[in-house]
Structure 1
Amino acid sequence: MGSNPTLSAILRRPWEVKNALRSSKSEGRADLLPPGYEWHANDEIRNMMYYVYLIRSQVDANQVYTGFTENLRQRLLDHNAGKSVHTKKYLPWTLETYLAFSDRNQALEFERYLKTGSGIAFAKKRLRPSQTKSLKMENLER
């Protein structure tokens, strides 16, 4: 295996690739890292995920917020602590759906899409099954 590992090699032999990637860092070749991985201070390679999430207000079920974060747990805590101007009015919030991306730009593009008219319709139909289920149950009870 040369100094330029392929993704298939990374997936097959991570213990061998780790050394190759370390040497690539010393050569200034961080571009050899696969998408979603980054170097950290202690020279570890860590998988970095980016999240697009939908949260729903517990006081007004019609209020749904779509966001992007690198730390989903902390972001939800921040929303519920009132640290976001956009969600402060409808505290508390519950996580309804999240999607994890290894590529930051792809996650940001998907978040932007979910905030468009088409994306809102997509999210209602495909990403919020609990709401869809409850609406269908209401129709059955009538």
Structure 2
Amino acid sequence: MYFTYILKSLKTNRFYYGHTQNLSERLNYHNIGKVKSTKAFRPWVIHYFESFETRSEAYRRELFFKSKDGKQWLRANNIIP
């Protein structure tokens, strides 16, 4: 099982998009500062996630979330403001 996730920074209210096989372990990596791009914005919470059978499906969904159409879809579904 693979996950596409959106994290929310409790410090700045910014969002981070990613994919992983172990959601709780990945969140922990973000919160202990092992991810360079999110280290300055800790702490993080899981804001939204979806599960997939394959890594490629999860990665494609992550790329969609990061796209203009993806951001519009997330806003239309009240996932992000």
TM-score (norm 2): 0.91
Q: How is 1:29-44 mapped onto 2 (pairs within 5 angstroms)? A: none
TM-score (norm 1): 0.54
RMSD: 1.4
Q: Sequence identity of aligned pairs in percent?
A: 31
More strand by share: 2
Unaligned runs of 5+ in 2: none
- Structure with the greater alpha carbon radius of gyration: 1
Q: How is 1:91-106 mapped onto 2 (pairs within 5 angstroms)? A: 91-106=42-57
Q: How is 1:1-142 mapped onto 2 (pairs within 5 angstroms)? A: 49-61=1-13, 63-126=14-77, 128=79
Alpha-carbon distance between aligned partners in 2 of 1:127 and 1:102, rounded to the nearest angstrom: 25
Unaligned runs of 5+ in 1: 1-48, 133-142
Alpha-carbon distance between aligned partners in 2 of 1:120 and 1:86, rounded to the nearest angstrom: 20
Q: Larger relative contact order (C-alpha < 8 A, sep ≥ 6)?
A: 2
More helix by share: 1
Alpha-carbon distance between aligned partners in 2 of 1:72 and 1:127, rounded to the nearest angstrom: 22
Q: Deviations over 1:76-132 (max 9, x none)?
A: 00000111111111100010111000122111111111111111121223261xx55
Report how many aligned residue pairs link the two structures: 81
